[in-house]
Amino acid sequence: MTLSVSRRALMKGAGAGFAAALFQPAVRAADSQESQTDWSGWTICDSCNHMPMCGIHFKARGNTVIRIENWNEHPNHFLCSKGISTLQRLYNPNRLLYPMKRTVPKGAADPGWVRISWDEAIKTIAEKLNAVKEKNGADRVLFYCGDPKEPRPPVMRLARYFGSPNYCCESSVACNLAYVHALELSYGAEIAGGPSPKTKCCMIVGKNGSWASPHGFFRNLLAQKARGLKLIVSDPRRTKVAEQADIHLQVKPGTDGALAWGMIRVLVKEGLVKREFVDKWCTGYEELVKYCEAFTPEYVEKETGVPADDVVKAARMFADGPSSMMLPGQSIPHQGNGCNNVRAYSLLMALTGNVDNAGGSTFNNWPEDYIRWDEGYTKTFIDQAWFNKPEQKARRIDREFAPVWNEMQVLCSPNKLPEMVEEGRIKAFAGFGTNLLI
């Protein structure tokens, strides 16, 4: 006798069994509840920074959630792996629920953690930080926030009134503030953004927004493509976004600068530069013309792996605008010469006059008091004027190794933190939601 099982049925059964195994802690927790009343409700997932979050329909037994699934009526109703794993995180037996204090010196096999009260924990932390401040100075303490982003403004305010200019976060070490910094060097402010209904061509660089952006990103991209938008994607990967491209510039990792300068050379050589815009708003154009001379299509093909013809076609397509550009906050700045690679791509917008115009890339229009609207920072709340004083800038740990960053950014760069600790420059670290691996 032969049993016929389809691949879909097999995977569905395996997935159900796997999920059941993962959620056993939740089931066991529910079984221990005195009340066994089953009920259900709706909420949102807060595992990442997508807005307006993703919808969850949950089922509970007593005070314990035993199952989560998509909230089908929610605009964002497809949970990703982070959302689906919520119960693993919520009911993991190793999850830290209370303050713990080490009772054995560092280096021992068993740290001897013991539970303490919140009052004792806060008092102990405050005493130790103040002791460092009294002996070594407030700038010997570094304050750091990871994700989620909600604690960032109050922690920065804490650093300010503690007296330390060394406040940093995940965005100033490994996320998108490096990209913002690059744009500020060229434009004075962050610029770029997605296509509008008047955009004729959009160039997306190193960004797989189908998975790494809110759900509305990909829906909007498909809608824009349906109305006739031309799409250029520069990415080493064949992503879901790249599959929608009219031209996919599949660069070798780390060669983005060469590709951007190759496109710039095409604009210059073929007379596609909007000189009236450049002459009015830009400086250094003659130097740019000289620098791009070496980046012939043939040279760019050799450096990047992108066919010379595609380099030329992409430059012409972008010039036939209005065109917009989406630059990534992570992938391009985080490589050798990353800051200047972002600047090179961004120059395509200025050279074609696609800056702050209908259908082109626009400056962020944030509320007046905000410096990072998506993270809640306001100049008033954090007392930005204090952080920007020359005497505070001089005390920051990034003064020596990142002087331009130090001068321009209100958030400190902690990228030499291990060296600073080893040298005794930093004596205490106050981390909130911190993953030191980044």
Domain harbouring 47, CATH code: 2.20.25.90
Cα distances from 312 to residues 246, 288, 307, in angstroms, run 14, 18, 9
| CA nearest neighbour of 22 among 95, 98, 90, 97 | 90
Q: If DSSP codes are grouped into helix, strand and coil, which group holds residue 396? A: coil
For residue 29, what pLDDT is reported? 53
pLDDT of residue 296 exceeding 90, the answer is: yes
67 with 204, same domain: the answer is: no
The last residue of a domain, from among 293, 328, 363? 363
> Residue 294 maps to which CATH number?
3.40.228.10
Whether 279 is in a domain gets the answer: yes
What DSSP element (H or E) covers 240?
A: none
pLDDT of residue 402 exceeding 60, the answer is: yes
Q: If DSSP codes are grouped into helix, strand and coil, which group holds residue 241? A: coil
Whether 156 is in a domain gets the answer: no
pLDDT of residue 409 exceeding 90, the answer is: yes
212 with 329, same domain: the answer is: yes
What's the pLDDT band for 12 if we cut at 50, 70, 90? very low
Distance from C-alpha of 58 to C-alpha of 55, rounded to nearest angstrom: 10
Whether 79 is in a domain gets the answer: yes
The last residue of a domain, from among 75, 91, 107? 91
Whether 280 is in a domain gets the answer: yes
The last residue of a domain, from among 346, 363, 380? 363
Distance from C-alpha of 182 to C-alpha of 408, rounded to nearest angstrom: 11
209 with 346, same domain: the answer is: yes
For residue 9, what pLDDT is reported? 42
223 with 80, same domain: the answer is: no
What's the pLDDT band for 34 if we cut at 50, 70, 90? low
Which residue matches tokens 């030191």?
A: 436
The mean-pLDDT minimum among 24-33, 160-169, 419-428 falls in 24-33
Mean pLDDT, the chain, integer: 88
162 CB-side CA count, 13 A? 29
Distance from C-alpha of 343 to C-alpha of 288, rounded to nearest angstrom: 12
The mean-pLDDT minimum among 47-56, 193-202, 338-347, 423-432 falls in 47-56
DSSP state of 111: -
Whether 166 is in a domain gets the answer: no
The angle, 0 to 180 degrees and rounded to 10, between the axes of the packed helices 256-269 and 297-304 is 170
207 with 338, same domain: the answer is: yes
pLDDT of residue 59 exceeding 80, the answer is: yes
203 with 340, same domain: the answer is: yes
pLDDT of residue 118 exceeding 80, the answer is: yes
Residue 35 lies in domain? 22-91
pLDDT of residue 48 exceeding 80, the answer is: no
Cα distances from 344 to residues 260, 265, 332, 349, in angstroms, run 6, 11, 11, 10
pLDDT of residue 3 exceeding 50, the answer is: no
Domain count, the chain: 2
Whether 147 is in a domain gets the answer: no
Whether 61 is in a domain gets the answer: yes
83 with 195, same domain: the answer is: no
First to last CA, the chain: 56
For residue 135, what pLDDT is reported? 98
Helix residue ranges per DSSP H, 163-208: 177-187
Whether 374 is in a domain gets the answer: no
pLDDT of residue 30 exceeding 60, the answer is: no
